[in-house]
Amino acid sequence: MKSMLFHRDFLRFTGGHLKLWEYFGHVRHSVEYVPNIYFSETTRWENNELWMSEKPFALNSWDCKEADAIFMEGTDWLDVKWQEFDASKPVINLIQHVRHANPDNIRYTFLQNKAIRICVSPEVSECLSATQRVNGPVFTIPLGLDLSLLPQPLSGDQRDIPVLLDGMKNQPLAREVSAELEKLGIKHELHIKYQPRSVFLEKLNRSKIAVFLPMAEGEGFFMPALEAMSLGILVVCPDSVGNRSFCLDGVTCLMPGYSVEQIVQATIQATTMTEMEANGIKSEGLKMVEKHGILEERRAFLDILDNLEQIW
């Protein structure tokens, strides 16, 4: 078996960490590769539910000379001594955000490094291709959702949060939206403080409507919206580029413009929908979730691993 080396600098949970952890798990199902990982000295282990089971088996030092392939993500290009790696061996780079195509972002400079790039959405792939700077092949593997990691959906009468306003990624806007909702007498809970993933998922599951504020500059996919759909929640989520393939306005969710006025208006629309209208959108959301299974993601990735040397 060949070794594939991962690197993590874990400070707190993010969706990006979750997806890389899942790709680490995908490699375990490979017939050719086994995953190894090195954790940075600054990695935090409190509330680190993802990687705790791997801590006893982690490498004591970063040494890519013995690895047969490297798996990179985010700013790993800065953190690892990839220059010491044999250039004839494959490098896989998971791309989870459209910001990689932004010339003002440090990740843009990494595109000139040779790698096999895997994008989590068609929109990310399109953004990368438009730069005309990518060194190496680009594959699109739509993000897969592992439903086993989510709570069992509650019934309607168990949901005691009318509206959950998740503004972790744009707190100033979230406060403005919240203030407007208060003026209108729309009961809601504002989420702008970091909480462990298990706590957030429990709160999300108790919600009837979830209003999300993705990053203003865009997202690579924006998994929370799909997670909410899987729990049978009516979703309000502005356009964030990477969510266009599954957030369909009036079909799987409500997709307002990225402004206080439009987000508030969409929230009003969600709270005043008839039960039949809301159930129709939630039903289509569940159908969309079925198209984003974790097994489909794994199969697509393992197909690349099975042909890695030829692709490289």
Question: In this predicted structure, what is the pLDDT of residue 74?
Answer: 92
- pLDDT tens by residue, 256-268: 999 999 999 999 9
In the chain, the DSSP E strands lie at 2-8, 33-39, 69-73, 91-95, 116-119, 138-140, 161-166, 189-191, 207-212, 234-236
pLDDT value of residue 45: 94
**Residue with token string 């409500």:** 254
Residue 58 has pLDDT above 90, yes or no: yes
Domains 2-144+293-311 and 147-290 share a fold: yes
Give the pLDDT score at 62: 84
> What average pLDDT does the structure give for the chain?
95
What is the 3-state secondary structure of 39-104?
ECCCCCCCCCCCCHHHHHHCCCCCCHHHCCEEEEECCHHHHCCHHHCCCCCCEEEEECCHHHHCCC
Tens digits of per-residue pLDDT, 292-305? 999 999 999 999 99
Q: How would CATH label the architecture of 2-144+293-311?
A: 3-Layer(aba) Sandwich (3.40)
Could you give the percent of the chain with pLDDT greater than 90? 91
Query: Quick check: 193 and 208 in contact, CB under 8 A?
Result: no
In whole angstroms, give the CA distance from residue 72 to residue 136.
Answer: 14
- Examine the pLDDT at 66 and tell me if it is beyond 90: no
pLDDT of residue 63: 82
CA–CA separation, 223 and 145 (whole Å): 8
Band (pLDDT 50/70/90 cuts) for residue 9 is very high
What band does 81 get if pLDDT is binned at 50, 70 and 90? confident
Cβ proximity of 243 and 219 under 8 Å: yes
> Is 247's pLDDT higher than 90?
yes
Q: Look at residue 47 and tell me whether its pLDDT is greater than 90.
A: no
| Nearest-10 Cα torsion for 13, 15, 21, 26 | 170
pLDDT per residue as tens digits for the range 84-120: 889 899 999 999 999 999 999 999 999 999 999 999 9
Mean pLDDT (whole number) for 61-69:
88
| Domain ranges (residues) in the chain | 2-144+293-311, 147-290
Proportion of the chain in helix, strand, coil states, percent, rounded to 5 = 45, 20, 40
Q: pLDDT category, 51, cuts 50, 70, 90? A: very high
Query: Distance between CA 170 and CA 257 in Å, rounded?
Result: 14
Nearest to 124 by CA among 275, 29, 276, 16: 16
With beta carbons less than 8 A apart as the criterion, state whether 224 and 246 touch.
no
Q: Which fold has domain 147-290?
A: Rossmann fold (3.40.50)
Distances (CA, A) of 262 to 166, 172, 239: 16, 16, 12
Q: What is the pLDDT of residue 65?
A: 85
Query: Which residues lie below 8 Å from residue 263, measured CB to CB, with a gap of 6+?
Result: 173, 177, 211, 213, 236, 238, 256, 257
Q: 170-175 — which CB contacts under 8 Å span 24+ positions?
A: 170/213, 170/214, 170/215, 170/216, 173/213, 173/216, 173/260, 173/263, 174/213
Taking residues 200-225, report their average pLDDT: 96
Q: Work out the average pLDDT over 223-243.
A: 97
Q: What is the rounded CA–CA span in Å between residue 61 and residue 141?
A: 31
